[in-house]
Structure 1
Amino acid sequence: MDKYDLKLDQAARAAWLSYVGGRTQDEIAGQLGVSRPGVQRLLALARQEGLVKVHIDHPLAGCMAMGEALVTRFGLSFCDVVPSDPAPHDNGLAFLALAGAERLSRYIDRSEPLTLSLGTGRVVRATVEALSRTERPQHRFVSLVGNVARDGSANRYDGVMVLADKTGAERFLLPAPVVAASVAEKDALLAQHLVQAVSAVAMEAEAGFIGIGRIDPQATLFQDHFISEAELRELLDAGAVGELLGWPMNAAGELVECPLTRRITSLPLRRLAGQTLVGLAGGRDKGPAILAALRGGWLKGLVTDEAAARYIVEQAEASS
């Protein structure tokens, strides 16, 4: 065992003693020969690496009802709605990530080789991080979105590398910015052999797990310098309320046409129609973007929370 595997083994022992054995942190510290803060770090590592799984054997009726309503209304294969955390912290992200990981693991746990595609975003990255480590070297994971910003910085919410590291699978990253500086630069990028090779792998994916972005000053595209302030204004003036893989949509779910969209390097959404695209997003502030993606028929599955689901159900009923 290397040092990390030994640490995981110790974390698993601490988690077992705590959650199964009912030991206090002081008792665990004595048994493992570590300090009490050391036990806390081990338990945090166990949760982070997915060694601890919680199953609550009672369905949340309200969440289930909203999920079923969205499935019926928008023709989805499934819609998982998790409880919203009323406290102002990131537990809501953790709830979404666990539900997303449950869906993603249904593909990864298969023994036959398969190709899965990933978008980017906080929930996508957190979903991948919530998965347990498992050896699946027969699989392939591929990015649907460029993994660099215009200034050359890496996309911090890309999940392909983390997922491949957890499974030993092959990884394919799209070597391009989300938005090229010019149409000529986009054409040159898309003509490169490496970009075409990664795009070809992405087209073979059975399913894709993608984030749903909002279009406003808090948008990830803007905050992480994929687009400029002037380009954000351009999208807002064109009526964009959300984006999938960088492609902006209006409230009806229609793709927005503007100068910016002619420079996006991501695979066109229409080319991915044969894949099971699963959207991962939550929060009432994401409601308009999620609703747009549903109205456009771009998604076949959705993992969201009750705040976003309630917004979507209310808006859908109001427009009936």
Structure 2
Amino acid sequence: MRNILEIEKQLLPDLMDILKKRYTILHQIMLSDVVGRRTLAASLNMTERVLRAETDLLKAQGLIEIENVGMRISEAGSILLEQLEPIVKDLFGLSNLEEKIRKVYGLRKVVVVPGDSESSPLAKRELGRAGAKALLSVMSNDRIVAVTGGSTLAEVAEQLTPPSNVSLKGSWFVPARGGLGESLEIQANTIVSTMAKHVGAQYRLLHVPDLLSEDAYQSLVQDPNILEMINMIRGAQIIIHGIGDAMEMARRRKLDSETVRELQEEGALSESYGYYFNEQGVVVHRMLTLGLRLEDIKNAEVVIGIAGGKSKAKAIQSVLRFGHEHILVTDEAAAIDIVKNI
């Protein structure tokens, strides 16, 4: 029996266009919390007159609320968006992208959100929301979750909400490695504390730099408190991490010119959890860090990679070829490029 959605696409193409448009409007309002008509029209590249007609209809259906400060989604609207998600994924072609990537790289699950998170703050927020949902789907009350830093993981932390069906009081969030000396908001320690507070779990912090000299490393591992923390990190059952461009991460880590040259010669494309990977997913360089080691990643029950943006496609593929990811959360822009290069 042919898929009902495919039949509707052929017989009622105008209806599909209307569904796409209204879903997009409702979805953007949800991501914005509260948004004015003019701002929303500009972000959707739509005239205010056309948008007004659509939002008046959505209000009449009880899906949004319109106040002096702007529009916000109603509870009924949130429920409808949740119900529409699988249908809309088919409609936008996202399910097809998810399945192709999942099969090629042998992943348990792939989630692709609409848009390009590099150019759209709302797409970045949706990427964070999808990452939060993926993390909660694999959590239980006795897990240790190791978390890396970065702006995408910070967005995941902001989107986490307490699960309704299970208590996470016995779970722990820990940073996967030390700090990079960047903005406090995107440091692993900050993200860990935010995640734990949002879901009612516990957390521990690691107050050491990510990049260590051999002497500093040997000194720190002698400290009983540091050693206890390292063992906790390396025993994490769940790892959630970002994926960075190799040269961008080398710059952020302020690596010396000789190391940067070596990375370029080795064909380093991506960086995750302190390791640099080439196009084939082979580790070409590792940082001396107190955090996760490759064996810890290989032994973890669930590894969730989250990254988006067209420019990240090759970096994402390189980490997928490493072969130890279980769940990938990405965006449409990256997914399209990944599928092109499969």
Give SS of 2:284's match. coil
Matched, 1:285 2:315: no
TM (normalized to structure 1)?
Answer: 0.74
**Partners in 1 of 2:337 and 2:282 — Cα distance?**
20
User: Structure 1 pair 286/22, CA: closer, same or farther in 2 (3 Å)?
Assistant: closer
**Partners in 2 of 1:283 and 1:21 — Cα distance?**
30
**Partners in 2 of 1:197 and 1:265 — Cα distance?**
11
Structure 1 segments of 4+ aligned residues over 4 angstroms from their partners: 18-22
Say which of 276, 300, 306 aligns to 1:248. 276
Equivalent residues of 2:230, 2:290 under 8 A apart:
no
Equivalent residues of 1:179, 1:227 under 8 A apart:
no
> How many pairs does the alignment contain?
272
**Partners in 2 of 1:65 and 1:290 — Cα distance?**
18
Aligned twin of 2:7: none
Say which of 129, 135, 139 aligns to 2:171. 139
Percent identity between the aligned chains?
Answer: 24
Equivalent residues of 2:154, 2:185 under 8 A apart:
no
Aligned twin of 1:127: 156
What is the CA-CA distance between 1:202 and the residue it aligns to?
2.2
The superposition leaves residues 156-184 of structure 1 with CA deviations (integer Å, 9 ceiling, x where unpaired) of 2421010122233221223321111x222
Say which of 262, 275, 292 aligns to 1:267. 292
User: Structure 1 pair 203/132, CA: closer, same or farther in 2 (3 Å)?
Assistant: same
**Partners in 2 of 1:80 and 1:164 — Cα distance?**
23
Matched, 1:170 2:199: no
Question: What are the within-5 Å matches in structure 2 for residues 221-240 of structure 1?
Answer: 222-223=251-252, 226-228=253-255, 230=257, 231-240=259-268
**Partners in 2 of 1:311 and 1:268 — Cα distance?**
29
Give SS of 2:320's match. helix
Say which of 9, 20, 25 aligns to 2:67. 25
**Partners in 2 of 1:69 and 1:23 — Cα distance?**
39
Aligned twin of 2:186: 156
Structure with the largest fraction of helix? 2
**Partners in 1 of 2:100 and 2:311 — Cα distance?**
20
Question: What are the within-5 Å matches in structure 2 for residues 59-70 of structure 1?
Answer: 59-61=88-90, 62-70=93-101
Q: Which amino acid aligns with 1:176?
A: V
Aligned twin of 1:92: 123
**Partners in 1 of 2:103 and 2:230 — Cα distance?**
33
User: Structure 1 pair 289/190, CA: closer, same or farther in 2 (3 Å)?
Assistant: farther
Aligned twin of 1:4: none
Q: Which amino acid aligns with 2:66?
A: T
Say which of 300, 309, 314 aligns to 2:335. 309
Q: Gapped runs of 5+ residues in structure 1?
A: 1-10, 13-17, 27-35, 47-51
- Root-mean-square deviation (Å): 3.1
Equivalent residues of 1:141, 1:170 under 8 A apart:
yes
Equivalent residues of 1:212, 1:244 under 8 A apart:
yes
Give SS of 1:196's match. helix
Q: Gapped runs of 5+ residues in structure 2?
A: 1-32, 35-58
**Partners in 2 of 1:262 and 1:113 — Cα distance?**
30
**Partners in 1 of 2:118 and 2:179 — Cα distance?**
32
Q: Which amino acid aligns with 2:67?
A: Q
Question: What are the within-5 Å matches in structure 2 for residues 72-87 of structure 1?
Answer: 72-85=103-116
TM (normalized to structure 2)?
Answer: 0.70
